[in-house]
Structures are given as C-alpha cells and as structure tokens.
Homo-oligomer: A and B are copies of this chain.
Amino acid sequence: MSTATGTTATSSQSVTLAKALNMGLRAAMEADDKVLVMGEDVGKLGGVFRITDALQKDFGEHRVLDTPLAESGIIGTAVGLALRGYRPVCEIQFDGFVFPGFDQIISQVAKLTYRSRGAYQMPLTIRIPYGGGIGAVEHHAESPEAFFCHIAGLRVVACANPADAYWMIQEAIACPDPVVFFEPKRRYWEKGELDTSVDPGTTFSSVLRSSSNNSAVTLIGFGATMPTVFAAAAAAAEDGIACDVVDLRSLSPLDLGPVLESVQHTGRAVVVSEAPGEVSLASEVAARITEEAFYSLAAPVQRVTGFDVPYPPSKLEEEYLPDLDKVLHAVDRSLAY
C-alpha cells in the first residue's frame, strides 16, 4: 500500500497504523501542552488497542486522563476543557459506544462556535476505532460515520494507512474545529512506510492513490475499505480492467475533486464502505458525483456497502462486509451499462 506521501525516502520507517497514531499523539502532545488525551482506560492500559501506550507515563495524569465510564461525560467535560483553552483528544473505546455521547456532540460540540458567533473555538478531537472484521461481539464493529457527516459544525476524517494516521491525527488536533477521527481498527496492525521528516501539508483532502489513462472505472474508498479497494483494483487489472483508486480521507466536508477528475475519464464509479448503505456516506458520494458529473457518467455510481441489518454475529461478518468479490461484481455491474 502506498503511503500518503508516496515517498520511500531512506529516513522512513515501517510502522503499524496503531504505532503511527501513538507517535502522532505523542508529537502533538509534545508540540502543545494544552493537548490532553482522555477516555476510558487510556492511562496505564494505554487503551484497549494501546494507541495511547505510555503517554500517561510520560506526560502525567493531568495530560492523559482515565475518565469515569460515561461517554456523555467524556465529551461534555472535553467541551468545557476546550472552552478553557485545552485541546482534548477523546478516545471512544469502540464505535458502538459513541452514542451515549451523541447528544453532547450534536448539541454542544458541533454548535457552540456557531451559537457564540465565533467567540468560542472547539478544538476537540474524537477518536473512534471503527469497522468490522475482527471477530468481535456486538457494538464493536460498526461504522457510524454517516451520523457525523450529517452534522454541520463537525469535520469528519478517516485514516487508511500509517503515514496518514500519523499526520492526520496531528492535523485534527491542531484544527480549531471539532474533528471526528475514524480509525480502521481492523487495520491497526498493518504496517506501512512512515517518513516523519516530510510534512505532507494538509491531509484533510481526498487523494488519487493510483490511476492510468486507460482506466475504465473509478474505485472510491476510505479508512477500513482501502485495502479491499486496492485488492479489487489489482484483481481487475489481471482481468484487463484498469481502475483508478481514490482514498476520500475527508468524509465531511467531502472533497470530490480527484473523484470527478477521474470520472471524467472513466465515466464509471464504485464507492465502497462498511456501513449499511441506506442514507450513508456512499449515498452522498453517489448523489454528488451524479450532480457534478452527470454527462460523464456511463453508468450509475455503484455502492458496495454493508447490508441494512444490524451488524451480524462475527461468524457472518465476512458475508456482511464489502470484499474483493463484491467490489469486482460492482465493477461488472457498472461495466454492464
């Protein structure tokens, strides 16, 4: 998998996505002592995924807070801390547990800057390990990005590889606006190249990961689905079907520049995400592409998403999730037009 910078400079190292996030958090905490990490078990334990490993030991209990077990409390107090000039980074332990904090997110986090007519900033980052494929029990494998993308006042991003993880978490923390930061938990242990010496500039934008001038279809993914998308592109190539690949990274606001450019040539697009398809980010991507590239489209944008059922027992999750075959099948559907 290519890194965000695409570089493989000798100064780069191979690290897991989890490690890159840990390094990014550490860098942000070193750069600004107003940065706080807070959540359940983020202290001594380092979080259930160890993303905050050793941060409390090195920065102290007032910089890394093991909070009481209450998500509304975590988000609600983080809001107060942000108003006090801090830059809280809240860890939600698993996707399915963000909902007790949903009210504070939509009613306060997203609206206080607007309500105060700019007097308040809300430099708050909400980290959510999301997505399936890890054989977990209920509530531990969901993809709730759609809920947050629909909320004006929030920015929503997802990282798909170690380099992006490292840079994007720092950009999120530095942002004066609230950022909901999605981490593909299934990919935490996948390695990638990271060159901490080359600042890639803004990472809150979508990127064309691969392209060719004879591409027939544009494949669109983000976060957890990128490896699937790359695999599908490779498999399709074997069958003689070249595909462009776009990693959205910024889910709200959507940055469709590279997508539209690609679709001008391909005329076909397939968007891949794990969440149920109904009223999802995939719906928005499909609608937006159609609005902005109508005459270029040779086929309707194909959506490859989870089914509109609650996330199933883990023995069924491989059936539920988008996979290589489902993406290839969507490519065929698209080409069939």
Contact = CB atoms under 8 A, between A and B. Distances in A.
A237 interface: no
A301 interface: yes
Contacts of A152: 276, 278, 307-310
A243 to B, nearest CB: 20
Interface residues on A, range: 35 or more
Contact of A278 (B106, B284, B301): B284
B153 A310 contact: yes
Contact of A102 (B103, B276, B302, B303): B103
A122 interface: no
Contacts of A307: 152
A287 B310 contact: no
B153 A150 contact: no
Interface in A248-264: 252-254
A337 B291 CA distance: 11
Given A287-B286, A287-B287, A310-B110, A279 B102 contact: no
Contacts of A309: 114, 152-153
Contact of A310 (B114, B149, B280): B114
Interface string A107-133: 100110011000000000000000000
Nearest to A280: B150
Nearest to A100: B103
A294 B96 contact: no
Interface string A219-253: 00000000000000000000000000000000011
B106 A150 contact: no
Contacts of A102: 99, 102-103
9 contacts: A99-B102, A102-B103, A114-B310, A147-B150, A150-B278, A152-B307, A279-B279, A287-B301, A291-B301
